[in-house]
Amino acid sequence: MSYRGRFAPSPTGPLHFGSLVSALASWLDARAHRGTWLVRIEDIDGPRTVPGAAQDILDTLERFGMVADEPPVWQSQRMALYQQAFERLRASGLIYPCGCTRKEIADSLVRAHARHTTLAYPGTCRGGLNGKPARAWRLRVPDGEDAIVTFDDGWQGTQTQNLATEVGDFVLRRADDQWAYQLAVVVDDADQGITHIVRGADLLDSTARQIYLQRCLEVPSPSYLHVPVVTNADGDKLSKQTGALALNTTQPLVALNDAATHLGLRMSDAAATSLDAFYAEAITAWSARVKR
């Protein structure tokens, strides 16, 4: 099977240091495997998408020497695929409409917390809406042993999550009529034939949901590798929300060497002299660091 990897930024602002680390890790892994590297713009979260940010990210990647091997795809142009997957799940009876408001869910979680029981969505609407209007659509997760999803992460090691007790039935179609990230990402990774997913560890917690959804849709599961997220001095993930600054794009080599160092790659002074020298050294260092 030939390797196909991807970088899937959400265009919520310019590329920042944290997303550069994810881009670089996925690029290095694809190059180390002599594979194909794709870019997918995840622009279906209307309220969070910033006009112009996607092009800005693509331009920055290019300036940094990372150009996709196929034209980038845009999730906003792929709505029909998400609809098809949704219809399939609906026909198999795996999803159901949910009428709970955020407040109702929050209240039930507070009650559950007080009882020291599950913090997952309690499945209130599984048996019907009880007269409430439908808001979101949720995927039914199994009970008992079947709810446990285990996978081997290329960086973080073996991961296990119990979908029933830790997550609960999760949303595929949001109350604001948008496709949820979990559905779009699984449909796209399958449609694009992605074999290896390399991304930030903030998405580690979503992976069991994605693997379960792959099973429901009868598509193969890629292999996963989650690199450590970049945090600020307070330990918060570096992102636009936490005030991360955009990269200094006039000095790609400085930022790239910093990103490689964050990934635990030891770079020589020569790697700061040209993009070619940087990538040659970084690919070798990545291959030695990540054996799979």
In the annotated binding site, the residues are: 6-10, 42, 98, 100, 121, 125, 181, 199, 240
CB-wise, 100 or 185, nearer to ligand GLU?
A: 185
Q: How far is the CB of 248 from ligand GLU (least distance, A)?
A: 21
170-173 and 157-162 strand pairing: unpaired
Query: Contact residues for ligand GLU (CB under 6 A)?
Result: 8-10, 42, 185, 199, 203
Query: Which residue's CB is nearer to ligand GLU, number 120 or number 185?
Result: 185
Cβ at position 17, least distance to ligand GLU in Å = 14
- CA-CA distance, 97 to 152, in Å (whole number)? 33
| Residue 10 or 118 with smaller CB distance to ligand GLU | 10
Residue 55 or 251 having the CB closest to ligand GLU: 55
Binding positions for L-glutamate: 6-10, 42, 181, 199
CB 267 within 8 A of CB 278: yes
CB of 15 to ligand GLU, least distance (A): 11
CA distances for 239 relative to 13, 16, 252, angstroms:
10, 7, 19
Structure tokens at 168: 């609960």
Distances (CA, A) of 191 to 97, 150, 221, 265: 26, 23, 12, 32
Q: Which residues line the annotated binding site for ATP? A: 240
Alpha-carbon Rg for the chain, nearest whole angstrom, is: 20
Contact assessment for residue 69 and residue 75, using Cβ atoms and an 8 Å cutoff:
no
Token pair, residue 64, equals 């940094």
* Structure letter (DSSP) for residue 269: G
Q: How far is the CB of 210 from ligand GLU (least distance, A)?
A: 8
